[in-house]
Amino acid sequence: MSDHEEALYRVGQMLAQIARPYRVDESLPIDVRTNLWQLGFACNEMTPREELIARLWARKRSLQIMVPPQWGGPGATPPSAA
């Protein structure tokens, strides 16, 4: 797995943790904040989830552009539903 693919995976994992339903008064858990800092997203317990989600999606889009699509050719394509 390349560095870009690993970063894409980690950003996807963080999106899954942050974008889940939550209580309005719920702050970001310390382990989530630590992982965000490791990915380069400065935040604290008061940082709005909406802001972090927007920033994570922006990073994910930029990483997806850098990772070429993996297509194995016609044999890897499932048949169309006719």
- Give the domain extent around 50: 3-66
73 lies in some domain = no
Count up the domains in the chain and report the number.
1
Give pLDDT tens digits for 10-45. Answer: 999 999 988 888 887 788 888 989 999 999 999 988
81 lies in some domain = no
Give pLDDT tens digits for 50-61. Answer: 899 999 999 999
72 lies in some domain = no
* Between 73 and 41, residue with greater pLDDT: 41
Length of the chain as a residue count: 82
Contact 73, 44 (CB under 8 A): no
Q: pTM of the full predicted structure? A: 0.73
Distance, in Å, from the CA atom of 57 to the CA atom of 51, rounded to the nearest integer, reads: 10
Q: What is the DSSP letter of 36?
A: H
Contact 39, 11 (CB under 8 A): yes
Interior/surface letters 27-38, b for 16+ CB within 10 angstroms, e for the rest: ebeeebbebbee
